[in-house]
Amino acid sequence: MLKWMIVFMLMFSLFSTAQAKEVGKEELPFPLGADISDRFTGTVHRNDLIAADDVYKVPQTNVITFEPGSYSGWHVHGAMTVIGVAGEGIYQEWGKDAVLISPGDVVHIPAGVSHFHGATANSRFQQIVIYDKYWQADSGNKAHIGAVSIEEYKKIPFVTKSKATEKNKEFTFSYNPAPFQSPNFNKLVYLGKILEKPNAAGSPEWVYVAFPKGAYNRWHSHKTGQILIATDGVGLHQIKDGKLEVLHPGDVVLCPPGVVHWHGAAPESSFAHIAINPEDNHEVNWYDFPAYEYLAN
């Protein structure tokens, strides 16, 4: 009996140790980018994904990564939409209860509202932020600004937790389990909606597309162009008469208006990306499949 008790205690100890090693080691889909910790408490990185411009007319879009126990101070900025990507995060508006943010959760922050955000004490947190970078606060804005003390952080009263749709473990975001059937794809693919309209950032919708191994679409062009953000696996993208691009999580494709291209999964890897159609324009011209180009590369 004693022997079995010792074995059980040893197994429990090993299990607890393994769990402890995983704390703060959450897998992150996107590269960290630049260290901007001097503006925060703890360690924080920023990876700029999309710059606001006059061609694609999409708001500034960045990935912010908080290490465990890292967070911002109270601050204000232009209207922002936050999308949870990995780990567990915190968002709190001044005078309101804090909210836990999980992968797939979406938070809309009105312009000029005082708030802070960051990671929970025992988890890394990665989020996408889409915001109006040109916003300027009115001279009479009296929003609360300042540091969040360690005591405040430790006493956060979490009363609300968003419930994101349970996702397939193979991919970063959830999608409709019913396959999307279209003659414009050589295989069945899966679609999800990450960001809908209206949203605080004034962004077009974000559609999530998951490709099985070897799945790809036809050569095609978009009237207002298209932006792709790779999130999972290994993908391929090619503009007509251009070189084949290999896509990994964090890579961004900017395909100009009217330019013909195709994209999909590599032959031996599944792949997923976010697709953004500027101005929510879905006028597309479809052509032949890139069968030769796919096999040749």
- Do residue 133 and residue 63 come from a single domain? yes
Q: Smallest Cα–Cα separation from 96: which of 117, 77, 111, 81?
A: 117
- Do residue 32 and residue 150 come from a single domain? yes
In a domain, 242, yes or no: yes
Q: Which domain holds residue 45?
A: 25-161
Q: Smallest Cα–Cα separation from 173: which of 274, 254, 264?
A: 274
What CATH number has the domain bearing residue 230?
Answer: 2.60.120.10
Residue type, 256: P
- Do residue 39 and residue 148 come from a single domain? yes
Cα 290 off chain centre by = 29
pLDDT score of 168: 56
- Do residue 90 and residue 215 come from a single domain? no
- Please state the φ and ψ torsions of residue 38, each to the nearest 5 degrees: -65, -15
In a domain, 169, yes or no: no
198 cis-preceded (ω within 30 degrees of 0): yes
pLDDT at 229 over 50: yes
More confident of the two residues 23 and 233: 233
Average pLDDT over residues 46-72: 97
pLDDT score of 19: 40
pLDDT digits (tens, 9 = 90+) for 123-149: 999 999 999 999 988 877 778 889 999
- Confidence label for 13 from pLDDT (cuts 50, 70 and 90): very low
In a domain, 37, yes or no: yes
In a domain, 79, yes or no: yes
Average pLDDT over residues 266-270: 97
- Do residue 76 and residue 128 come from a single domain? yes
Could you tell me the two tokens for 11? 């197994």
In a domain, 220, yes or no: yes
Q: Smallest Cα–Cα separation from 204: which of 221, 224, 219?
A: 224
pLDDT score of 9: 33
Contacts of 267 (CB under 8 A, 6+ apart): 213, 214, 294
- Do residue 30 and residue 132 come from a single domain? yes
CB 255 within 8 A of CB 220: no
Structurally, the chain folds into a number of domains equal to 2
In a domain, 283, yes or no: yes
Tell me how far apart the alpha carbons of residues 202 and 209 are, in angstroms, rounded to a whole number. Answer: 21
- Do residue 70 and residue 143 come from a single domain? yes
pLDDT score of 11: 38
74 C-beta neighbours (distance < 10 Å), count: 17
pLDDT at 7 over 70: no
- Do residue 118 and residue 231 come from a single domain? no
pLDDT digits (tens, 9 = 90+) for 151-200: 999 988 765 555 444 455 689 999 999 999 999 999 999 999 999 999 99
Helix (H, G, I), strand (E, B) or coil at 217: strand
Average pLDDT over residues 96-112: 94
Query: What is the maximal distance between C-alpha atoms in the chain?
Result: 75
pLDDT at 283 over 70: yes
The residue from 141, 161, 181 where one domain ends is 161
Could you tell me the two tokens for 99? 């909210």
Q: Count how many Cα atoms sit within 13 Å of the Cα of residue 249 in the half-sphere of its side chain.
A: 18
pLDDT at 46 over 70: yes
- Confidence label for 92 from pLDDT (cuts 50, 70 and 90): very high
Q: What is the pTM of this model?
A: 0.87
More confident of the two residues 64 and 24: 64
Percent with pLDDT over 70 in the chain:
87
Length of the chain counted residue by residue: 297
pLDDT digits (tens, 9 = 90+) for 18-29: 443 355 567 899
In a domain, 17, yes or no: no
- Do residue 132 and residue 52 come from a single domain? yes
Could you tell me the two tokens for 85? 């990507």
- Do residue 211 and residue 105 come from a single domain? no
The residue from 161, 181, 207 where one domain ends is 161
Determine the straight-line distance between the first and last CA of the chain, rounded to whole angstroms: 63
CB 245 within 8 A of CB 263: no
In a domain, 204, yes or no: yes
- Do residue 108 and residue 208 come from a single domain? no
Residue type, 176: N
Q: Smallest Cα–Cα separation from 249: which of 218, 276, 270, 268?
A: 270
When the pLDDT of each residue in the chain is averaged and rounded to a whole number, the result is 89
pLDDT at 100 over 80: yes
pLDDT digits (tens, 9 = 90+) for 250-264: 999 999 999 999 999
pLDDT at 207 over 50: yes
CB 244 within 8 A of CB 217: no
- Do residue 32 and residue 157 come from a single domain? yes
H or E, element range at 8: helix 2-22
Percent with pLDDT over 90 in the chain:
80
More confident of the two residues 296 and 76: 76
Tell me how far apart the alpha carbons of residues 56 and 278 are, in angstroms, rounded to a whole number. Answer: 6
